[in-house]
Amino acid sequence: MAEAYSIRFPKSHTHPVGTTIHGWVLIGNPFYIGGSIYGVFEDASGRVETFQIARLKTAPTHGRKATRTHNGKSYDRAAVRKLVKVRSNMINRCHVDDTTRYWKYYGGRGITVCDEWRNDLWAFVDWALSHGWEQGLTIDRFPNLDGNYEPTNCRWVPLAGNARKPRKLALKTLI
């Protein structure tokens, strides 16, 4: 036999009508069922669903990409996380002496990350996304292989393409 629940409304609305969670917009006042807060939500296509609010906040994104907004622009959260790591590794290789085994190949040779990217994560994220970054690509200094990491000297390439630098090939032929 189905369990009966009483429906009551929260005294204060912690989630006002119009709140957006993972692309779903709350279109009615939240309500309690059995101690949990529920809400009626609508997505961009007009589909209407009822969700437990706490679960919707932590649930998978129902086929939508989780986004992060900065200065009015939406970014894919997973892409931002990966680009934060790319930028952090780039800065460590070039500016943090002896923290990585690769410092001697970058910072030790005078290669730096431009001030714009070093001081502003979103400048780097915007550049990366507008210049073709996607999963599986790595940053490459080109056309000047001894140049700095800066917008005019970088591109995105597959890892295999980035691993075959002329400097490395020359060292292999000498050995």
Give CA 127 to chain center in angstroms: 13
Question: What predicted TM-score, i.e. pTM, was given to this entire model?
Answer: 0.58
Instruction: For 26-61, give the DSSP string.
Output: E-S--EEETTEEEEEEE-TT--EEEEEHHHHHHS--
Domain range for 41 is 7-58
**pLDDT score recorded for residue 38:** 82
Q: Are residues 81 and 145 in the same domain?
A: yes
Q: Are residues 50 and 73 in the same domain?
A: no
In a domain, 2, yes or no: no
Q: Are residues 32 and 107 in the same domain?
A: no
CB atoms under 10 Å from CB of 67, counted, come to 17
Which residue, 58, 75, 95, sits at the end of a domain?
58
Tokens of 71: 């200065």
Enumerate residue ranges in the chain where pLDDT < 70.
1-14, 56-68, 98-100, 161-175
**pLDDT score recorded for residue 60:** 53
**pLDDT score recorded for residue 22:** 74
Q: Give how many domains the chain has, as a whole number.
A: 2
